[in-house]
């Protein structure tokens, strides 16, 4: 009998014995459904749900939330608009799992959108934060923990000689944008269609009908003047970048080295190095937005993984260990433009918060342990291969991939090299996939255009369970 079948039998036995906690073990492929029995189907075992997947409490809380907050959420993608239906409301998280307010348990591949790389609520991180909290939750003054985390970042990230901490990735990118303009004395910025750098006015830009155009505001309330200096190129297309650089006056080329906000799109061979060469040639800075990829692709971030060093880097997510944080850093001569060392002003009341600093320090300590990134690569590559195989076997057009603890796939024939390619995906099918996987106890990002994340807490059993669920769902779409 296969391992997944054994886990289903075990889950059914435990459920019948009344041990709900154990019935929702990592080995159960249907952790979100209350299972009460098993049957043989096509030579393997599958669970029979005696009770329907129930989200009544989530529905009630979200209904109330819509009267209290715009759209019922504090960040738009959480509202499930891209996949249909209402969002589930979380109650708690631990390790590789999350629980909603109705008691359903999920294998979680969102991980708080990336920070939970060592697993949710890791005991060592919690203990360190609790001990720090006893000294106070915020100082608004220098603390030694800032030095400690700064040294870890500088030692790990090739481009960073000095670092400034902020409260979010968006704030880090806002500071970076002002910095590159201040340092170069130029105003134009080149970004890429589908790359997200936070909700600052200068970055909320969509591409026009052409491959590379002047940006137009992508949100009401953004004045056209705020985006007049933002140029948009096509990811993985060096010719589109050089065409814009030739116009002159470009301060920097800014990109996600691995795109995570159009789905998972890695750079093609030579693309990042080509950007490095072009920015050198046209006297512009190169900026890697590693808020998502930082310490997830590799301990030295994507720039270490690909061997291409930018001039400035933005960070977030992992370096805060689950607490609000951001950072931007780079060459010393550039960073010394930042106040109070230099004239470029940027500040923050809670920047360098001791709780976030400690959570980041402990998270990075854990990541430095032998085998961490080998584990991430092993479970993630197995997961995406299993999902793609399940899709192909069921006759769907699917393509995707992974690097270390980051992955993604598209309901598209592929290959996907850019946001334009990603837009050929079957979004309706993804919505059905997402809901069906949710009902089987697998929590995935609620958008075709978002990457997924694994953690050190994800086990082989979690991956096997997810692949088993994917096979069932793919065959029913």
Q: What's the burial of 9, exposed, middle or buried (CB within 10 Å: 0-12/13-18/19+)?
A: middle
Q: Quote the pLDDT of residue 477.
A: 93
Domain that holds residue 255: 123-367
DSSP per position, 21-34: HHHT-TT-TTTTS-
Question: 330, 347, 367: which is the final residue of a domain?
Answer: 367
Residue 36 has a pLDDT of 30
Evaluate if residue 40 carries a pLDDT over 50. Answer: no
- Residue 371's pLDDT is 98
Tell me the percentage of the chain whose pLDDT exceeds 70: 87
pLDDT at position 200? 85
Per-residue pLDDT at 346: 95
Q: What confidence tens digit (pLDDT) does each residue in 410-444 have?
A: 999 999 999 999 999 999 999 999 999 999 999 99
State residue 1's pLDDT score.
39
Question: 20-24, 143-147, 294-298: which range is least confident on average?
Answer: 20-24
Check whether the bond before 415 is cis (ω within 30° of 0).
yes
pLDDT surpasses 60 at 45:
no
Question: Domain boundary residue among 302, 337, 367?
Answer: 367
Same domain as 406, residue 346: no
**Going by DSSP bridges, is the β-strand pair 250-255/285-289 parallel, antiparallel, or unpaired?**
parallel
Token pair of 24 as six digits: 């929702």
* Residues 166 and 230 grouped into a single domain: yes
Q: Measure the CA–CA gap between 209 and 230, rounded to whole angstroms.
A: 16
What pLDDT does 31 receive?
40
Neighbours of 420 (CB within 10 A): 16
**CA 447/CA 425 separation, integer angstroms:** 11
102 and 26 housed in the same domain: no
- The candidate with the shortest Cα–Cα distance to 252, out of 282, 273, 274, is 282
Helix (H) or strand (E) holding 433: helix 427-439
Domain match, 41 and 66 both: no
Pairing label, strands 406-410, 452-453: antiparallel
Residue 309: the pLDDT is: 98
Percentage helix, strand, coil for the chain under 3-state DSSP, each rounded to 5: 40, 20, 40
Q: What average pLDDT score do residues 31-57 get?
A: 52
Instruction: In whole angstroms, give the CA distance from residue 6 to residue 14.
Output: 12
- Listed in sequence order, the residues at least 6 apart from 247 whose beta carbon sits closer than 8 Å to its beta carbon are 188, 231
pLDDT digits (tens, 9 = 90+) for 67-103: 999 999 999 899 999 899 999 999 999 999 999 999 9
pLDDT of residue 20: 34
Looking at residue 51, its pLDDT comes to: 67
CATH number of the domain residue 396 falls in: 3.90.1150.10
Q: What is the CATH number for 346?
A: 3.40.640.10
Closest C-alpha to 423, from 401, 446, 444, 447: 447
pLDDT of residue 41: 38
Q: What is the pLDDT of residue 203?
A: 86
Over residues 436-454, the pLDDT tens digits come to 999 999 999 999 999 999 9
Q: What is residue 227's predicted lDDT score, i.e. its pLDDT?
A: 84
pLDDT, residue 267, reads 98
Based on the domain organization, do 104 and 198 belong to the same domain? Answer: no
Same domain for 244 and 334? yes
Q: Where are the alpha helices (DSSP H) in 186-308?
A: 224-227, 238-245, 271-281, 301-306
φ/ψ of 423, rounded to 5, equals -70, -5
Mean residue pLDDT across the chain: 89
256 and 301 together in one domain:
yes
Three-class SS of residue 475? helix
Bridge partners, 188 (sequence order): 250
Range with lowest mean pLDDT among 11-15, 59-63, 259-263, 470-474: 11-15
Query: Which residues lie closer than 8 Å to 226 by C-beta, 6 or more apart?
Result: 201, 202, 217
List helix spans (H) across 185-329: 224-227, 238-245, 271-281, 301-306
Other C-beta atoms closer than 10 Å to the C-beta of 333 total 12
Do 289 and 316 have their domain in common?
yes
Domain endpoint, select from 49, 65, 81: 49
Q: Are residues 172 and 320 in the same domain?
A: yes
Are 286 and 410 in a shared domain?
A: no
Q: What is the pLDDT of residue 206?
A: 52
Our CA dihedral for 38, 434, 432, 79, rounded to 10 degrees, sits at 130
Nearest CA-CA partner of 23 in 8, 38, 5: 8
Half-sphere exposure of 386 (CA within 13 A, CB side): 19
Question: What pLDDT digit, counting tens, does each position of 295-310 carry?
Answer: 999 999 999 999 999 9
Pull the structure tokens for residue 37: 């029995």
| Distances 418 to 124, 233, 301, 320, 414 between C-alpha atoms, Å | 39, 10, 21, 29, 10
Note whether 388 and 458 are same-domain residues.
Answer: yes
Residue range 184-226, pLDDT digits in tens: 999 999 999 999 998 888 888 753 223 333 445 577 888 888 8
pLDDT in the model for residue 217: 59
* Average pLDDT of the residues in 250-268: 96
In 10 A of CB 1, how many CB atoms?
A: 9
Q: Please count the structural domains in the chain.
A: 3
Asked whether residue 150 falls in the same domain as residue 289, the answer is: yes
Whether the full predicted model's pTM is greater than 0.85, yes or no, is yes
Decide if 238 contacts 271 (C-beta within 8 A). Answer: yes
Higher per-residue pLDDT: 227 or 380: 380
Q: In the prediction, which pLDDT does 340 show?
A: 97
Catalytic positions = 196, 289, 317
């Amino acid at each position: 009998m296969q391992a997944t079948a054994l886990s289903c039998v075990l889950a059914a036995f435990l459920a019948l014995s009344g041990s709900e906690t154990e019935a929702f073990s990592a080995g159960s492929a249907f952790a979100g459904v209350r299972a009460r029995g098993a049957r043989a189907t096509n030579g393997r075992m599958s669970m029979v749900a005696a009770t329907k997947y129930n989200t009544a409490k989530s529905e009630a809380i979200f209904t109330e939330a819509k009267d209290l907050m715009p759209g019922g959420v504090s960040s738009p993608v959480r509202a499930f608009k891209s996949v249909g239906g209402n969002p589930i409301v979380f109650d708690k998280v631990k390790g590789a799992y999350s629980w909603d307010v109705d008691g359903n348990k999920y294998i979680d591949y969102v991980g708080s959108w990336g920070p939970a790389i060592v697993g949710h609520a890791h005991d060592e991180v919690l203990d360190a934060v609790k001990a720090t909290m006893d000294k106070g939750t915020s100082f608004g003054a220098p603390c030694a923990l800032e030095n400690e985390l700064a040294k870890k970042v500088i030692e790990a990230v090739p481009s960073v000689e000095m670092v400034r901490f902020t409260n979010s990735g968006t704030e880090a990118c806002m500071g970076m944008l002002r910095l590159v303009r201040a340092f170069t004395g130029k105003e134009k910025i080149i970004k890429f269609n589908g790359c997200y750098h936070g909700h600052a006015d200068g970055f909320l830009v969509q591409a026009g009908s052409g491959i590379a155009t002047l940006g137009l505001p992508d949100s009401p309330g953004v004045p056209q003047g705020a985006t007049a200096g933002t140029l948009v190129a096509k990811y993985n297309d060096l010719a589109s970048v050089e065409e814009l650089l030739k116009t002159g006056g470009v301060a920097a080329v800014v990109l996600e080295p691995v795109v995570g906000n159009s789905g998972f799109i890695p750079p093609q061979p030579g693309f990042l190095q080509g950007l490095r060469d072009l920015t050198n040639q046209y006297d512009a800075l190169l900026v890697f937005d590693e808020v998502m990829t930082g310490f997830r692709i590799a301990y030295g971030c994507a720039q270490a993984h690909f061997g291409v060093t930018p001039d400035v880097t933005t960070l977030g997510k992992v370096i805060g260990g689950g607490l609000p944080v951001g950072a931007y850093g780079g060459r010393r001569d550039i960073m010394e433009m930042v106040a109070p060392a230099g004239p470029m002003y940027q500040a923050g009341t809670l920047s360098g918060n001791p709780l976030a600093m400690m959570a980041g320090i402990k998270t990075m300590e854990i990541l430095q342990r032998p085998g961490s990134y080998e584990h991430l690569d092993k479970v993630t590559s197995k997961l995406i291969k299993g999902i793609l195989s399940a899709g192909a076997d069921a006759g769907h057009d699917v393509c995707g991939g992974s690097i270390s603890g980051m992955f993604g796939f598209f309901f598209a024939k592929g290959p996907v090299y850019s946001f334009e390619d990603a837009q050929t995906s079957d979004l309706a099918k993804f919505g059905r996939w997402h809901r069906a996987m949710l009902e089987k106890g697998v929590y995935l990002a609620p958008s075709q255009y978002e990457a997924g994340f694994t953690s050190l807490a994800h086990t082989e059993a979690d991956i096997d369970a997810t692949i088993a669920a994917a096979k069932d769902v793919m065959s029913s779409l």
